[in-house]
Each structure stands twice: as C-alpha cells, then as structure tokens.
Homo-oligomer: A and B are copies of this chain.
Amino acid sequence: MSDPKRKKTTARGKRMDPKDREAMIVKEAVLYFAEHGLEGSTRKLARQIGITQPLLYRYFPSKESLIERVYQEVYVQRWNSKWDSLIPDRSQPLKQRLYRFYKEYAAAVYDYVWVRIFVFSGLKGVDINDRYLAIIREKVLEPVCTELRVIGNLPTPEKEPLSEAEIEWVWGLHGMFFYRAIRHFVYGLPMDTDIDAAIENDIDTFLAGAKATQKKILKKAKG
C-alpha cells in the first residue's frame, strides 16, 4: 500500500509493466474462458480484467491467439513427467502405486479451469484433447494394463499385445476417477470432502474386481 512500486505493477487500468499486464490478462482469460466457454466475448473479458477491450489487442493480435495462449497456460506441462515412473515402479504393490499416482494426478486435474476448458475444447473438437488423451493412454492405461498382466501371471504385452478390450476396461478405472471431476466442475455437484478416500475406494474396488474378472475379459478379447 505504501510501496509505490507495488502499486505500479498491480494497479488496474493504468500504466502497468507489460510483462505484468500480459500475465494479468492471461490469468484472467484462463478463468474467464473456463467459466463462459471459448465463445465468451472480449469485451466482458476486458471488463473482468478491469481494462478496455482494445488493450487486449496490444498484447494479442487476435482473440484466437489469446485462446491459444490460454491453452498453453493450462495444458502445457500439465503432464508431469515424474508421474511416468509411478505406475511401472514394481518396488511396491500396484495398489500403492495407483494410490499415489491418482492422488498426485488429482491435485493437478481436479481443477475448475483444467476440467472445464478440457470439456469445452472437446465439444468444440479442438485437437488439444486428442493429444492429451493419447498421453493418458500411453502413460496410464497401457502401463496399468501391463501391471495387471504381471499381477495376473499373464503374458507381457510384448508376447501378447494389449487388446482394445483391455484398454477399454481400464478406461473404467479412469472414468471412476475423472467423472468425479465432471460431476463437480461441469454439473456443479458437490465434491466429496475426503477426496483421497474416494480415490482409494475407486482403486480398491477396481483392483479387487480386476483380480476376479481379468481372465474373463482377456478371454473374450481374444475370442
């Protein structure tokens, strides 16, 4: 308050350092488009930021480029490469690995902005989703399938390639997890207070069920 420099870089409306102003615009744009969708107007966005609409065009040549920047902000490096090693790490039980992975993953993606922009983009058919879902398949679904093969004393994927039915089956686990986020951030239902417990329940149920049903599923996949 008494520091004039602080005022200079945070005051709304007037003469801000370009770096700070741009960051401010991006930050607010992320929130604005997450709430109203990518068709939201630049005027209302500007009002939310506390600037005039043409000022947006000093920082971004078009609305499209601003949205592109929003995608960068929300999705780039949203897959943390340290997660890669969690699921395949056989030094501990698969259940523990999945607990850890999905809890850490939840901390990143159980997020208003992340979920809503992802769904908005999906409905619009933006390619961002395809790219991201390919990562999910490669880094989550296929590793989980592989580990389930190991647990079930079944051939490795090298000997017997993963079938679509198996992948589809493991999408079930992921669906338990991610549909919770959709219920909350898209439908507006309340989120369970103990999220970690709910995640553990998903995993417990799926893994216990997997043991009992794996052979049936793989047999059907082959036949």
Binding site for B on A (CB under 8 A): 37, 39, 116, 119-120, 122-123, 125, 129-130, 133, 164-165, 168-169, 171-180, 182-183, 186-189, 192, 194, 197-198, 201-202, 204-213, 216-217, 220
Whole-angstrom distance between the Cβ of A114 and the nearest chain B Cβ: 14
Pick from B119, B164, B211: contact of A119, CB under 8 Å: B119
A-B contact pairs, 23 of them (CB 8 A): A37-B123, A122-B186, A165-B194, A165-B198, A168-B198, A168-B201, A169-B201, A172-B176, A172-B205, A175-B176, A175-B179, A175-B180, A178-B179, A179-B179, A201-B216, A201-B217, A204-B217, A205-B206, A205-B209, A205-B213, A208-B211, A209-B209, A209-B210
Q: Are B182 and A182 in contact (CB under 8 A)?
A: yes
Copies of this protein chain in the complex: 2
Q: Are A133 and B208 in contact (CB under 8 A)?
A: no
Q: Are B186 and A123 in contact (CB under 8 A)?
A: yes
Whole-angstrom distance between the Cβ of A127 and the nearest chain B Cβ: 10
User: Which chain B residue shows the least CB distance to A123?
Assistant: B186
Whole-angstrom distance between the Cβ of A74 and the nearest chain B Cβ: 16
Whole-angstrom distance between the Cβ of A46 and the nearest chain B Cβ: 19
Pick from B125, B171, B189, B202: contact of A172, CB under 8 Å: B202
The answer for the CA separation of A63 and B92 in the assembled complex, in Å, is 58
Q: Are A133 and B169 in contact (CB under 8 A)?
A: no
Whole-angstrom distance between the Cβ of A43 and the nearest chain B Cβ: 16
Q: List chain B residues, Cβ under 8 A from A179.
A: 171, 174-176, 178-179, 182
A171 and B175 contact, Cβ closer than 8 Å, known pairs A39-B39, A119-B186:
no
Q: List chain B residues, Cβ under 8 A from A197.
A: 165, 220
Contacts A133-B189, A208-B211 supplied; 8 other A-B pairs, CB < 8 Å: A116-B123, A119-B119, A164-B192, A175-B178, A175-B180, A179-B182, A201-B213, A204-B213
The answer for the CA separation of A116 and B39 in the assembled complex, in Å, is 17
Pick from B122, B169, B180: contact of A188, CB under 8 Å: B122
